Amino acid sequence: MKKEKLNILFLCTGNACRSQMAEGWARKLKGDRIEAFSAGVILTALSTRAVKVMAEAGVDISGQFSKHVDELVGIDFDYVITLCDNAKENCPMFSGKAKLIHKPFADPSFLIGDEEVIMDSFRKTRDEIMDFILTLPDSLKQKNCKEKYD
């Protein structure tokens, strides 16, 4: 009997950068075990810098787009992973079995100044998110997973 994939929502403020990266990494690295979704608590646009640094790592997220969390009503999520404090504080209630996990990452989107410094920040966030995605879904099922990620 084939095991179903886990429905995991990666939630951030604007669904422009971190949650898009997480969705891309989850599809690429864990697509056999995870059905990945991403959304934001406000609607923005996909970050072109996020697209660029993910492409550098061999992950194409150029076809993804920013979605408001309300657009995903009706999907039965196993886990909702908030990637920033704002999303955690403004996370809507999910019915059913969804477990809320908080795993914040730095937001490189608000940096200003030297473009290479900004891009290095995007790469750092990209790599940290990849390292987290590599632990999924097993790390989520641990008895004390909330303590581990809070």
Q: Which domain holds residue 27?
A: 6-141
Task: Report yes or no on 92 lying in a domain.
Answer: yes
b/e per residue 100-114 (b: at least 16 CB within 10 A): bbbbbbebbbebeee
For 7, list phi and psi in degrees, rounded to 5: -85, 115
pLDDT in 10s for each residue of the chain, 150 residues: 455 899 999 999 999 999 999 999 999 999 999 999 999 999 899 999 999 999 999 999 999 999 999 999 889 999 999 998 877 787 777 767 889 999 999 999 888 889 999 999 999 999 999 999 999 998 987 644 443 333
Q: Is residue 21 part of a domain?
A: yes
In a domain, 148, yes or no: no
How much is the pTM? Answer: 0.89
Does the residue 150 lie in any domain?
Answer: no
Q: Is residue 149 part of a domain?
A: no
**Total domain count, the chain:** 1
CATH number of the domain where residue 124 is located: 3.40.50.2300
Instruction: Please identify every residue annotated as catalytic.
Output: 12, 84, 91
Residue 106 forms part of a structural domain: yes
For 39, the 3-state DSSP assignment is: strand
